[in-house]
Amino acid sequence: MEGPSDLASLELLLTKVIEGDNQVHFEIVGGDITTDFTVNSSNIKSKIVDIVKAGGKRKYKPSDYKEVIHLVDMDGAYLDEKNICIDELLNRFSYKDDKIFANNIEHVLTRNSKKQKILNILCSTNKAFKSVPYRVFYFSANLEHVLHNKIDIEDKEKMKYAEKFEDKYIDDLESFINYFCESTFAVKKNYKDSWKFIKENNNSIKRFSNLNIVLDEYKIL
């Protein structure tokens, strides 16, 4: 997961839904690994391995893992250049409907190009290391967009929304599963096709998620 609000939103809910005979362990990457300045298309796989092996000070063998599931925000990474707009008053990227606004369009294009290259590698990677299966799942344009239908929440507000989401579903896991699997944002395709879909038609900034694939496979209710 990318950060604390992701963890607060989903850790307990996903643990309850998919644990069963499995032990679910969550690890925060500490930001968007697909745009981290230390990460590129050449070393992204090794970075993932390092994070998994760190395991929060736990000592796991490859045979201990059933699967590594990586959750990422799309952030409009595959957006057409014509949908990137200038707003000189901004000090960060701002997402509105089907557009990204920024004070420098080249900065968005550079970010998107890097993010595309890394995501293209990750979504075609099926092993984290040795025999450990790996898949990456997305929220578009971001977690808050999917969970709350709000595409551009200030960082300081994210934790409040995260706690609200957990409180809503912690005693109603069936509704939580239905929310992800039956809502219009659920991409009801197989894993490979769900990634093809999110890269097309500016879908990477529209409200979609393929996390329903995980819930359909792992739910124990």
pLDDT digits (tens, 9 = 90+) for 76-116: 999 999 999 999 999 999 999 899 999 999 999 999 999 99
**Nearest CA to 89 among 102, 105, 100?**
102
- The phi, psi pair for 53, rounded to 5°, reads -65, -30
Residue 59 has pLDDT above 80, yes or no: no
Residue 57 has pLDDT above 70, yes or no: no
The predicted structure's pLDDT at residue 15: 94
Boundaries of every domain in the chain: 4-218
Instruction: Give the strand pairing for 68-73 and 84-86.
Output: unpaired
Distance CA 116, CA 84 (A): 16
**Would you say 77 and 91 are in contact if contact means Cβ atoms under 8 Å apart?**
no
- pLDDT: is 19 or 170 the higher one? 170
The predicted structure's pLDDT at residue 56: 55
The predicted structure's pLDDT at residue 51: 87
Peptide bond into 141 cis (omega under 30): yes
- pLDDT: is 23 or 210 the higher one? 210
Q: What is the 3-state secondary structure (H, E, C) of the chain?
A: CCCHHHHHHHHHHHHHHHCCCCCCCCCCCCCCCCCCCCCCCCCHHHHHHHHHHHHHHCCCCHHHCCCEEEEEECCCCCCCHHHEEECCCCCCCEEECCEEEECCHHHHHHHHHHHHHHHHHHCCCCEEECCEEEEEEEEECCHHHHHHCCCCCCHHHHHHHHHHHHHHHCCCHHHHHHHHHHCCCECCCCHHHHHHHHHCCCHHHCCEECCHHHHHHHCCC
Share above pLDDT 70 across residues of the chain, in percent, rounded to a whole number: 98
Give tens-digit pLDDT for 122-138: 999 999 988 899 999 99
The predicted structure's pLDDT at residue 34: 96
- pLDDT: is 28 or 204 the higher one? 204
- pLDDT: is 101 or 51 the higher one? 101
Share above pLDDT 90 across residues of the chain, in percent, rounded to a whole number: 82
Give tens-digit pLDDT for 147-188: 999 999 988 999 999 999 999 999 999 999 999 999 999 999
The predicted structure's pLDDT at residue 181: 97
The predicted structure's pLDDT at residue 189: 98
CB-based contacts of 74: which residues, under 8 Å, 6+ apart? 119, 138, 139, 140, 141, 142, 198, 204, 205
**Would you say 165 and 6 are in contact if contact means Cβ atoms under 8 Å apart?**
no
Name the average pLDDT for the chain. 94
The predicted structure's pLDDT at residue 58: 66
